[in-house]
Structure 1
Amino acid sequence: MFSWFERRINPYPDGPPPQPPAGFFPFLWAASAGVRGLIVAMTLLTATIGVFEALLFSMLGSVVDWLSQTPASQLWAQQKGHLLLLAGILLASPLLVTVQSLCKFQGLQGNFPMRLRWNFHRHLLGQSMRFYQDEFAGRVSAKVMQTALAVRDTMMIVGDIMVFITIYFVTMVAVVGGFDLALMTPFLGWLAGYVLALKIFIPRLSRAASAQADARSLMTGRITDAYTNIATVKLFSQGEREAGFARAAMQDFMRTVYRQMRLASSFEIVNHTLSMLLIACTAGAALWRWSEGEVSIGAVAAATAMALRLNGISHWIMWEMSNLFEHIGTVQDGISTLSTPVRVTDRADASALQVTRGEIRFEQVSFSYGGDKNVIDQLDLTIRPGEKIGLVGRSGAGKSTLVNLLLRFDDVGAGRILIDGQDIARVSQDSLRSQVGMVTQDTSLLHRSVRDNLCYGRPEASDAEMIAAARRAEAHEFILGLGDPAGRRGYEAHVGERGVKLSGGQRQRIAIARVMLKNAPILLLDEATSALDSEVEAAIQGSLYQLMEGKTVVAIAHRLSTIAAMDRLIVLDQGRIVEQGDHASLLAQGGLYARLWAHQSGGFLAEGAE
């Protein structure tokens, strides 16, 4: 029975995740896709339970009247039908609660937020690189987790608790009115005062909750940022500074907490005052109407019991309403991140890139990061199949931007980029990047096994192929000596977050082996050997040349000696090609490349060279 309800919702739906809307109610509606039927079922069952519970007070009044009017020996004979009806209601209520609980807890409580996390996570994985450059990783992950729970709790409170309260109160007032219309007055007066209190406090609680959610995600982001960059923190002895940085965010968060708790305390005081007035007025009115012979003893007992019950419920309502608007604030805070449109998207008719030759063409390509000045300005460049070119230029000349555009981390502002005649804007991003291998200067590894990292670009690779790639990258020997606290050794050892357990050179060799194993027809090298010492670099240089055979290669290096042997060097300045040719011809020209070469210091390009 439990598993049947647990299977009503698929927490991991297939198909592309939808773009979350930016509006609050459209966001909730979109988030409820796939679970609406179960929410409606739970809500209807909750409403029925509310009616049943309110009717029990009516039954209570009837029982008191039967006891006051019927001799004990005649109770069963005279009230048999009513007693059987009361027994039926009492027996039916557990059945309703059972089904409602199964819908709520087995169906929705776990599956609903997991479904949202799955969709949010897949949506964010499709965000552009620029999105992640503008956000804390910890802040993004916190919003994925918090928003999923807040959406669930918001809809649960509205669909379960608030419906129960509404139906319960309406039925209760109807029952009291059935005894005597005058007894409705205290309940309606309490409702007017309570609604007024909600109108005063709830908007303030909502704003406080929204501010608290934003402060919480900022606090989480700062703490996570320190952990992610723990090596830098320790290197510069800035533990106290990071603690202070986090403390400032914690203090901002606590200010929102104090504001929220002040509002909660004020609401509690008002709520309790209203409840005491309700009990006093209801009991007084019931006794007055009984003294005039207008209502029975049972009506006095039922009306007073309802007022006492409403006193308890009102405190529950207050906290649930406070929680509701805290969740609403969290959802609103999450929407700002989760509904950010994806900058780089695949066309609906995007095809898979087919690389048969490896020719790359940039045709009148321009690009800017939002400013007035183009980083790449009307650039034309053709890289022949199998050609190996080096990109040269001062920092900011546009080298890395050109590579990012080729990988389609950003879309060009004007012009187009073609690979074997196929516009990369018209092919899927995954198929494009599957045909490109890249080794960067800042190598980041996943906190998984060495095997997982090596086979990341080619999961189906055999152990023999993986080890062969590691040997070619001069990585096999040190990998065999690796271990982790869990006792895993060699290729099964985990490398730590971002590969922190390895040296820079070890990470770089694993990255090179990973690209060797992927064996893509287009190869991008961005300071691929910068983290290696001279001996290791010389040892794997031959392997890199083997890797480059038959591939189209684009290499970036500040150390010009590492790319001097390329087929052609492209010299960039302010987003334009100012020189091109081989090393010897460019030196002979005596232009920018020759000046950069002359300014080499210890084999590296001086960033400020003019």
Structure 2
Amino acid sequence: MSRSHTGDARLPLHRALLRLLPFAKADLPRIGLGGLSALCASIVALMIPTALEWIVGGPLSTGQTEPVVWGALAVLGLGLVEAVMVWLRRWFVLAPSASIEYNVRTRFYNRLQRLPIEFHDRWQGGQLLSRMMQDIGQIRRWLAFGLIMLVVNLLTVLIGAALLFQWHWALGSVFLVSGIPVFVQAFRFERRYGMLTRRSQDQQGDLATSVEESVHGIRVLKAFGRGPDALTRFTRQAEGLRSTEMSKARSIAVIDFVLVFMPELAFAACLALGIWLAQAGELEVSQLFAYFAMATILRWPMESIGFLFSFLLDTRTATDRIFEVFDSADTITEPEAPVALTAPRGELRFEGVRFRYQDARSSERDLLDGVDLAVAPGETMALVGLTGSGKTTLTTLPTRLYDVTGGRVTLDGVDVRDLSIVELRTRIATAFEDATLFSATVRENVLLGRDDLDISSSEAGRVMREALEVSQAEFVEELPDGVSTMIGEEGMSLSGGQRQRLALARAVAARPSVIVMDDPLSALDVDTEERVQGELRRVLAGTTALIVAHRPSTVALADRVALLEHGRITAVGAHTDLMASSAGYRAVISSIEHTDDASRDPNPTSELDIIAERESRQESARNEGSTR
């Protein structure tokens, strides 16, 4: 999602920047000392023209050598003091600005982790990335340089302008009058440049999103030969950004022209006026020389104001963009008085559950429209339904990836909203169909949900090996460094089946009371799937499981099956019973059977027959055991 900007909604400049104060409060003393050092450097520089006036008007005019040497040494000493003050400014501000950047960035990342999934559904990854890196870096640079130099240079211009009056009021007046067009242009500049810098930073976020999508989807682009089309779209976006940057450059060029031209014009006017005053005997040559030395020193502070002002506006926009994320509503909140589960059993219930997505039209009915379902402790429940019936959405509710909009979900009789989020997501683990892995080792990915274990301990190793065995992920031993092998970004160096098996191992290793699986075996071949199912039956014997079944073979795992239709559970029971009693269930099973990947077997057997055969073998084994 590209975040558009509406200027009318923005806070005033000073209030927007003051929002950074909580992050900077601890470092303000050092930043203040840095500013004081910079101001001292400027004041020392302003003292040099006075020393030059004494040299020109005194010993230099009389031809005395020794006082000139002492005057030169005094100027050298002032220069050294100025250099030391500049060094102190940098020394004082660099560490605090880096500390503030660290604080903002970690808080920003933590905020991203806390915000609900619906927030991430609406925001482009590139927009968040540009805020995380570019905008926060912009704030650090402004605190380390822009803020201090803008304040110090403004004060330097004011102090220097006042000092110009000591030589002649007319010269000082000319200098002040020349500053009026500068302030008028700065006011106009603020309004236009603020809009342009916001547009530019949003376009940079869109461009980052395009790069991110192209990198992640490089296989698709290459496979379909759509690289040139992607380049065309990227070029169009880059051209838009270039156009905005050119508009920014033109705005800066206008104010820079005014900031450079007006002092030059004032110089010319003051030179003519100064010569006339000197001829009239109202101004000495040494005073005129000192005046121009002072004016020369003031040129950099005056010319820098345009750059520093644009720096300020860029930072204000960066601050706005960052606080758009901080101000986003966190609807998945911690309860005020969390309930603790003292003896977790793993009973999962959906009681009158309703849910609708935030962007759903008011005329649309709820996606989940009163779901009632009870999964007993230790039971494995399969959830089936046609595409779009809300199965995957239902699996996001127990762990509060989304919150219900009506009814409630309970774990062991406690509303999941009354449990702390940490405890809730420790008790319930999830394995998604779209397996996401992280740029870390196999060991770190599998043990992601076990922060109670030392990852290098023997106990962690045992848990990991068992989880890998359950998911039939023996392929990890063939990786270059075994379980210490670094997995590439999002695990794209692995096949889809390998990623799914590691994701399933991660869920198993978490040892939850309840495990929710959204068709976690869809990328596996028939033989591997059957071995994994056998292991899962053993492991899930004491764990409550809710499994979304996108194909009939997954139903074989379940003790019971629930049918989701039109936002409600319309039938619950054993597979064979539902096949006999529910026409809707038969239609769904038939539908998903025909859309399954029959190409896995050149002479495919109906998966319904496979399920029936498995149930028959299990029944025979039970009878044989009872006979013995």
Q: Could you say which TM-score interval applies, normalised by the shorter chain?
A: 0.7 to 0.9
Following superposition of structure 1 onto structure 2, how do residues 124-273 of structure 1 map, counting pairs within 5 Å? 124-157=112-145, 159-273=147-261
* Alignment partner, residue 388 of structure 2: 396
Determine which of 519, 523, 535 is the counterpart of 2:527: 535
| TM-score normalized by the length of structure 1 | 0.88
Verify the 8 A CA contact 2:446 2:503 in the aligned structure 1.
yes
Verify the 8 A CA contact 2:42 2:82 in the aligned structure 1.
no
1:187-227 per-position Cα deviation (integer Å, ceiling 9, x unaligned): 10121121122122232222211111111111111111110
Q: Which amino acid aligns with 1:492?
A: S
CA distance in structure 1 between the partners assigned to 2:407 and 2:78 by the alignment: 74
Measure how far apart 1:253 and its partner are.
Answer: 0.5
* Alignment partner, residue 8 of structure 1: none
CA distance in structure 1 between the partners assigned to 2:566 and 2:54 by the alignment: 90
* Alignment partner, residue 5 of structure 1: none
Verify the 8 A CA contact 1:286 1:300 in the aligned structure 2.
yes
Q: Which amino acid aligns with 2:533?
A: Q
Q: Identity over aligned residues, as a percent?
A: 24
Do the aligned partners of residues 318 and 353 (structure 1) sit closer, same or farther apart at CA in structure 2, a change above 3 Å counting?
A: farther
Verify the 8 A CA contact 1:362 1:417 in the aligned structure 2.
yes
Following superposition of structure 1 onto structure 2, how do residues 585-600 of structure 1 map, counting pairs within 5 Å? 585-600=577-592
Verify the 8 A CA contact 1:367 1:413 in the aligned structure 2.
yes
Following superposition of structure 1 onto structure 2, how do residues 552-563 of structure 1 map, counting pairs within 5 Å? 552-563=544-555
Secondary structure at the residue paired with 1:295? Answer: coil
CA distance in structure 2 between the partners assigned to 1:114 and 1:223 by the alignment: 26
Verify the 8 A CA contact 1:282 1:307 in the aligned structure 2.
no
1:402-445 per-position Cα deviation (integer Å, ceiling 9, x unaligned): 21111101112122222122221122222211112222211111
Measure how far apart 1:293 and its partner are.
Answer: 2.2
Verify the 8 A CA contact 1:362 1:379 in the aligned structure 2.
yes
* Alignment partner, residue 27 of structure 1: 19
Do the aligned partners of residues 416 and 26 (structure 1) sit closer, same or farther apart at CA in structure 2, a change above 3 Å counting?
A: farther
* Alignment partner, residue 526 of structure 1: 518
CA distance in structure 2 between the partners assigned to 1:410 and 1:340 by the alignment: 15
Unmatched 5+ residue regions in structure 2? 1-10, 454-458, 599-628
Following superposition of structure 1 onto structure 2, how do residues 343-422 of structure 1 map, counting pairs within 5 Å? 343-350=331-338, 354=342, 356-370=344-358, 371=360, 372=362, 373-422=365-414
Determine which of 46, 70, 81 is the counterpart of 1:54: 46
* Alignment partner, residue 468 of structure 1: 466
Measure how far apart 1:71 and its partner are.
Answer: 5.4
Q: Which amino acid aligns with 1:532?
A: L
Verify the 8 A CA contact 1:361 1:418 in the aligned structure 2.
yes
Measure how far apart 1:533 and its partner are.
Answer: 0.1
Secondary structure at the residue paired with 1:205? Answer: helix
CA distance in structure 2 between the partners assigned to 1:130 and 1:382 by the alignment: 26
Following superposition of structure 1 onto structure 2, how do residues 484-563 of structure 1 map, counting pairs within 5 Å? 489-563=481-555
Are 1:104 and 2:93 counterparts?
yes
Following superposition of structure 1 onto structure 2, how do residues 317-328 of structure 1 map, counting pairs within 5 Å? 317-328=305-316
CA distance in structure 2 between the partners assigned to 1:536 and 1:381 by the alignment: 31
Measure how far apart 1:145 and its partner are.
Answer: 0.9
Secondary structure at the residue paired with 1:498? Answer: helix
CA distance in structure 1 between the partners assigned to 2:110 and 2:569 by the alignment: 38
CA distance in structure 1 between the partners assigned to 2:73 and 2:249 by the alignment: 48
Do the aligned partners of residues 564 and 591 (structure 1) sit closer, same or farther apart at CA in structure 2, a change above 3 Å counting?
A: farther
Verify the 8 A CA contact 1:445 1:453 in the aligned structure 2.
yes
Measure how far apart 1:602 and its partner are.
Answer: 4.3
CA distance in structure 2 between the partners assigned to 1:229 and 1:185 by the alignment: 65
1:310-345 per-position Cα deviation (integer Å, ceiling 9, x unaligned): 334433322222333233333334433443222322
* Alignment partner, residue 330 of structure 1: 318
CA RMSD of aligned residues (A): 2.6
* Alignment partner, residue 40 of structure 1: 32
CA distance in structure 2 between the partners assigned to 1:533 and 1:511 by the alignment: 16
Q: Which amino acid aligns with 2:92?
A: C
Verify the 8 A CA contact 1:597 1:605 in the aligned structure 2.
no
* Alignment partner, residue 10 of structure 1: none
* Alignment partner, residue 448 of structure 1: 440
| TM-score normalized by the length of structure 2 | 0.85
Measure how far apart 1:502 and its partner are.
Answer: 1.0
Stretch deviating more after TM superposition (82-91 or 43-52) = 82-91
Measure how far apart 1:168 and its partner are.
Answer: 1.0
Secondary structure at the residue paired with 1:495? Answer: coil
Q: Which runs of 4+ in 1 moved over 4 A?
A: 68-71, 82-92, 351-355
Measure how far apart 1:366 and its partner are.
Answer: 1.7
Q: Which amino acid aligns with 1:50?
A: S
Secondary structure at the residue paired with 1:549? Answer: helix
Measure how far apart 1:83 and its partner are.
Answer: 8.9
CA distance in structure 1 between the partners assigned to 2:537 and 2:515 by the alignment: 11
Measure how far apart 1:604 and its partner are.
Answer: 3.8
Measure how far apart 1:165 and its partner are.
Answer: 0.9
Stretch deviating more after TM superposition (421-430 or 333-342) = 333-342
